[in-house]
């Protein structure tokens, strides 16, 4: 059922994907990946409180589940809960301090709140961690 859910997501059939994940959770309630994928599908349906609860469940089941933590931060940011997003991003950075996308996400949250110095600091950190990729892209 989980693979069916992923296929439905790729087809942009998110409501059906969520239903597949709901059935999958009934059979495997302790599978953090199913909870994470369910949250991902719900993101497209703009069901923010339920999105966060899915990621929370995935993290509860696997406390070092980097992708669920990252998705949780993005879910908070999409819901304009920037303080919660930043707090979550800080937790993610404890797991993976060299993740440029998380530093970038924090920069966006700070910029959204007009904390421009903090936005620039976090953006600089993201760039310093991913400078090779940016240099390569600029040479093409």
Query: Which structural domains are found in the chain, ordered by start?
Result: 1-62 (1.25.40.10), 81-140 (1.25.40.10)
Are 52 and 75 within 8 A, CB to CB? yes
pLDDT of amino acid 53: 96
Mean pLDDT of the chain: 91
In the predicted model, is pLDDT for residue 138 greater than 50? no
| Both structure tokens of 83 | 């303080």
Element (H, E) at 113: none
The whole-number pLDDT of residue 99 equals 94
User: Is the pLDDT reported for residue 133 higher than 90?
Assistant: no
Q: So what's the pLDDT on residue 2? A: 57
Judged against a pLDDT cut of 60, whether residue 137 lies above it is answered with no
Instruction: Summarize pLDDT for 29-51 with one digit per residue, the tens.
Output: 999 999 999 999 999 998 888 99
Give the CA count within 13 Å in the CB-facing half-sphere of 61: 17
Per the structure block, which two tokens stand in for 89? 């991003």
The model carries a pTM of: 0.85
């Amino acid at each position: 059922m989980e693979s069916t859910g992923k296929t439905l997501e790729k087809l942009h059939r998110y409501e059906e994907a969520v239903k597949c994940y709901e059935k999958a959770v009934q059979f495997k309630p302790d599978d953090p990946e199913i909870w994470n994928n369910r949250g991902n599908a719900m993101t497209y349906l703009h069901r923010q409180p339920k999105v966060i609860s899915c990621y929370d469940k995935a993290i509860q089941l696997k406390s070092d589940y980097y992708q669920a933590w990252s998705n949780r931060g993005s879910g908070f940011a999409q819901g304009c809960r920037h303080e919660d997003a930043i707090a979550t991003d800080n937790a993610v950075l404890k797991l993976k301090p060299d993740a440029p996308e998380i530093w970038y996400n924090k920069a966006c949250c700070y910029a959204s709140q007009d904390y421009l110095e903090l936005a620039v600091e976090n953006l600089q950190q993201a760039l310093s961690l991913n400078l090779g990729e940016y240099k390569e892209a600029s040479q093409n």
